Amino acid sequence: MVRLFIAGTGHVGLVYAVAFALDGHRVVGADIDAGTVAAVNRGEVPFHEPGLPEALKKARRTKRARFSTDIAESAKAAEVIFLCVGTPSRPDGSVDLSQVSAAAKTVGEGMGSAPGYQVVVVKSTVLPGTTQGVVRPALEKASGKDAGPDFGLCVNPEFLREGSALEDALRPDRLVIGAMDERSAKALLKVYARTKCKRMVTALRTAEMIKYATNAFLATKVSFANELANLCDAFGSLNVDEVVEGMGLDPRINPRFLKAGLGFGGSCFPKDVRALLAGGRERGYESRVLRAVLELNDYQPMRAVELAAEAAGPLEGKEVAILGLSFKGGSDDVRESRAIPLAKVLLERGAAVRGFDPEANEAFRRAVPEVEIAPDVKTALARADVCIVHNDWPQWRDLTAADFAEMRRKVVIDGRRILNRAALEGIEFVTLGG
Ligand code: UGA
């Protein structure tokens, strides 16, 4: 059992607080947002994450997890401290480190009066050099202590996917640990003593880069699949899923993360690719690959608009229904959802846009208020001239021709290649990628 403190109780911090408590550690999670802390202390999870509410209740019953708004006081009592705060994009794509700096300062203040050696672990996604150049001096200044003899420093990137985050935290397939010295690494490895998976211990800045490299590569795979889908359409009579299946037979490629669609969204891929591009640029290197990955990602929603206009004619005055508003099925998160630019362009073209999502309706209403939110699929589709399926909720697979019966004109663009074509007789069906 290790005494842990987790600064930040968002999508990453809360999941780890619960997972570490279930692993037998004693955990305190803290956040500056009093509303979130109060909700979590009532056993409520403020976002959609399957299994997490039940696991939180279980962790609280064991009395091994509690939550507070007092970051400094909680940091003082811990052996290992995790920084799990956000690193959003600035308008120019570079990383906004204000939450990291503020958390490091408050944690450092608590560490100042801590009696023994502690280790601070950066789980937030930060560019190479940030832990050494920003976090370390902030901790040293606030605590009056020296990294090395008085406290240790690690970087331990998270690879949680929204929708399976708890499972990813409890049973990871790898651990990447960047450490300033052996003592820091040893203390962090104790936290993961019961975790069975491959582990790599490396330098702080290498671990920081591994996180960006992983997300940037996965985003590149997705953009490559989307490029292939568009090329399949250009050649005609080609099905991108079959092409990917064939490519994936090569063990050097593997078919995962090659599902074509309207582009990648969410709180990580777009932000991390932009940050790596901007970070390279600041240091005098322009990444052509990353620029192209983002360029294609911006184009994909436009591709759906083009396909809609080809099939249904000019969109001015038409009614368009978007099924799926969150950035991916299984999530209520609309951050960087490709449905946002999709809806905006449809509105610019003079269409009336209605949307429906099983979990993300309210969040999308706030993101694009001009879009009418429908209470169900049937209402979204009634009188529509075009339907665009944007994300991959599994229930879209069960839609049949009867669900589309009340559309004025039955043009359906399957932007995620998810609909069951055989059940859609009588529909003017267009799939991105054949
Ligand atoms: C992603 C990574 O998968 C996690 O490993 C990482 O920890 C996390 O970011 C993070 O940095 O915190 P997540 O944002 O939950 O996780 O979403 P993904 O499941 O990776 O999907 C990202 C986007 O790519 C979604 O819009 C999804 O629809 C799209 N995608 C994914 C495709 O279009 N095709 C695919 O084959 C896979």
**pLDDT for position 295:** 98
Average pLDDT in the 182-187 region?
Answer: 98
pLDDT, tens only, 128-152: 999 999 999 999 999 999 999 999 9
**pLDDT for position 383:** 97
Ligand 1 contact via 86 beta carbon (within 6 Å): no
Note if the pTM is more than 0.85.
yes
Helix or strand holding residue 197 (H, E): none
pLDDT, tens only, 28-82: 999 999 999 999 999 999 999 999 999 999 999 999 999 999 999 999 999 999 9
Q: In what order do the strands lie in the sheet with 386-389?
A: 372-373, 352-356, 319-323, 386-389, 411-414, 428-431
Residues 234-259: b if buried by 16+ CB within 10 A, e if exposed: eeeeeebbebbeebeeeeeeebeebb
Pocket test for ligand 1, best of 47, 127, 218 (most atoms within 8 A of CB): 218
Percent over 70 (pLDDT), the chain: 100
**pLDDT for position 61:** 93
**pLDDT for position 32:** 92
pLDDT, tens only, 216-253: 999 999 999 999 999 999 999 999 999 999 999 999 99
Enter the tokens of residue 36: 């979130």
How far apart are the C-alpha atoms of 369 and 381, rounded to whole Å? 19
Ligand 1 contact via 265 beta carbon (within 6 Å): yes
Helix or strand holding residue 232 (H, E): helix 204-235
pLDDT, tens only, 261-320: 999 999 999 999 999 999 999 999 999 999 999 999 999 999 999 999 999 999 999 999
pLDDT, tens only, 349-365: 999 999 999 999 999 99
Q: Which atom of ligand 1 is least distant from the CA of 337?
A: 26
- HSE of 177, CA atoms in CB hemisphere, 13 A: 27
Enter the tokens of residue 345: 């362009």
Ligand 1 contact via 47 beta carbon (within 6 Å): no
What secondary structure letter does DSSP report for 160? P
Ligand 1 contact via 327 beta carbon (within 6 Å): yes
- Mean pLDDT for the chain? 97
Enter the tokens of residue 249: 């037979």
**pLDDT for position 35:** 93
Enter the tokens of residue 183: 């003592």
SS3 content of the chain, % helix, strand, coil (to 5): 45, 15, 40
pLDDT, tens only, 284-296: 999 999 999 999 9
Average pLDDT in the 162-181 region?
Answer: 97
**pLDDT for position 6:** 98
**pLDDT for position 220:** 98
Contact of 392 with 410, CB cutoff 8 Å = no
CA distances in angstroms from 205 to 123, 180, 210, 274, 287, listed in the order given? 13, 10, 9, 18, 19
pLDDT band for 183, please (50, 70, 90 cuts).
Answer: very high
Enter the tokens of residue 201: 């211990």
Ligand 1 contact via 221 beta carbon (within 6 Å): no
How far apart are the C-alpha atoms of 78 and 55, rounded to whole Å? 22
pLDDT, tens only, 94-117: 999 999 999 999 999 999 999 999
Q: How far is the CA of 161 from the centre of ligand 1 (A)?
A: 6
Q: Annotated catalytic sites, by residue?
A: 268
List the residue whose alpha carbon is closest to atom 1 of ligand 1: 161
List the residue whose alpha carbon is closest to atom 7 of ligand 1: 159
**pLDDT for position 286:** 98
Pocket test for ligand 1, best of 122, 215, 217, 256 (most atoms within 8 A of CB): 215
